[in-house]
């Protein structure tokens, strides 16, 4: 799947089998179920058996993604963990390049992941994820991600926030820089994914930017609380409805302008 064929996809991140069952209830309103363990970090990795149970719990036509963690610069360790996620049933493998301080380190890690995952499952989709608030944790710059993804053979470049303290994607990477991120990803024939306490009110901007995947947890949890709240199927449906509304408005604007 390449960007020219895509519309905006909604990725939702449950943290347990129970929450994944709630996602399954809202399956018609989401595109990707993303297994993570938020108490182990922004892209915290969950147990293999949880990935497997969630794969079994959601409809077969919904891809299951799994985060491999906020990983250190340890290419062998990370490659092995990524293979574990793939063997457990995930077809989207997301790696948070938390411990990589240079693009070269990040490419090293992602090359190992791509080889480990694609040797096992050639059609798996590998996502190189950086952090919008990289300046707070000292990892690679957000705009370096598309090139890291391209040079490592990954399929997508993503940004999320590392520190979930209420600050949001656009607080750290303003919309015009996110647009440049998406442009660079598309130029490299990659999908672009954006996340980080994204709210319904950000969808107009995200649609205009042309991102391919928007990742969400807090906005579809009860009370907007990604930790204490649980994913609500009705909030997933409402979020998707807003995405569709913005997509239609944007398409109409483009059609009028041309």
Please give the Cα distance from 161 to 178 (Å, whole number): 13
* Nearest distance, CB of residue 217 and ligand G3H, angstroms: 3
H helix or E strand, kind and range, residue 141: none
In the bound state with ligand G3H, the residue whose beta carbon lies nearer, of 151 and 199, is 199
Longest dimension (CA), the chain: 52
In the bound state with ligand G3H, the residue whose beta carbon lies nearer, of 82 and 108, is 82
* Nearest distance, CB of residue 192 and ligand G3H, angstroms: 13
Q: How many residues does the chain have?
A: 258
The answer to whether 8 touches 206, Cβ cutoff 8 Å, is yes
**Catalytic residue at 199?**
no
The answer to whether 36 touches 43, Cβ cutoff 8 Å, is yes
Q: Are strands 125-131 and 213-216 parallel, antiparallel or unpaired?
A: unpaired
* Nearest distance, CB of residue 126 and ligand G3H, angstroms: 15
Residue in the block written with tokens 């693009």: 103
**Catalytic residue at 118?**
no
Please give the Cα distance from 78 to 70 (Å, whole number): 10
Please give the Cα distance from 136 to 16 (Å, whole number): 29
Bridge-partner residues for 9, per DSSP? 213
* Tokens encoding 6: 């895509």
State the catalytic residue, choosing from 36, 62, 164, 199. Answer: 36
State the catalytic residue, choosing from 4, 62, 74, 94. Answer: 94
In the bound state with ligand G3H, the residue whose beta carbon lies nearer, of 104 and 225, is 225
In the bound state with ligand G3H, the residue whose beta carbon lies nearer, of 84 and 196, is 196
* Nearest distance, CB of residue 55 and ligand G3H, angstroms: 18
Q: Tell me the residue nearest to ligand G3H as measured from the CB.
A: 215
Per CB under 6 A, residues contacting ligand G3H are 11, 13, 34, 160, 164, 195-198, 215-219, 226
Active site residues: 36, 94
């Amino acid at each position: 799947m390449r960007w020219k064929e895509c519309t905006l996809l909604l990725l939702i991140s449950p943290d347990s089998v129970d929450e994944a069952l709630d996602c399954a209830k809202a399956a018609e309103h989401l595109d990707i179920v993303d297994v993570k363990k938020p108490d182990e970090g922004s892209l915290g990795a969950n147990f293999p058996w949880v990935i497997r149970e969630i794969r079994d719990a959601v409809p077969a036509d919904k891809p299951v993604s799994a985060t491999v963690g906020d990983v250190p610069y340890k290419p062998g360790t990370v490659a092995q963990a990524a293979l574990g996620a793939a063997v457990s049933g995930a077809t989207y493998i997301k790696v948070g390049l938390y411990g990589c301080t240079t693009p070269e380190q990040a490419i090293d890690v992602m090359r190992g992941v791509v080889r480990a995952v694609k040797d096992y499952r050639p059609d798996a989709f590998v996502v190189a994820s950086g952090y919008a608030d990289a300046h707070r944790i000292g990892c690679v710059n957000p705009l370096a991600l598309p090139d890291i993804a391209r040079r490592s053979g990954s399929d997508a470049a993503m940004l999320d926030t590392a520190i979930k303290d209420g600050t949001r994607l656009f607080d750290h990477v303003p919309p015009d820089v996110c647009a440049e991120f998406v442009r660079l990803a598309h130029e490299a024939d990659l999908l672009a994914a954006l996340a980080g306490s994204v709210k319904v009110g950000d969808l107009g901007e995200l649609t205009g930017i042309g991102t391919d995947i928007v990742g969400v947890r807090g906005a579809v949890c009860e009370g907007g609380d990604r930790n204490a709240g649980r994913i609500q199927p009705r909030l997933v449906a409402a979020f998707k409805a807003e995405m569709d509304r913005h997509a239609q408005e944007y398409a109409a604007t483009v059609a009028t302008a041309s």
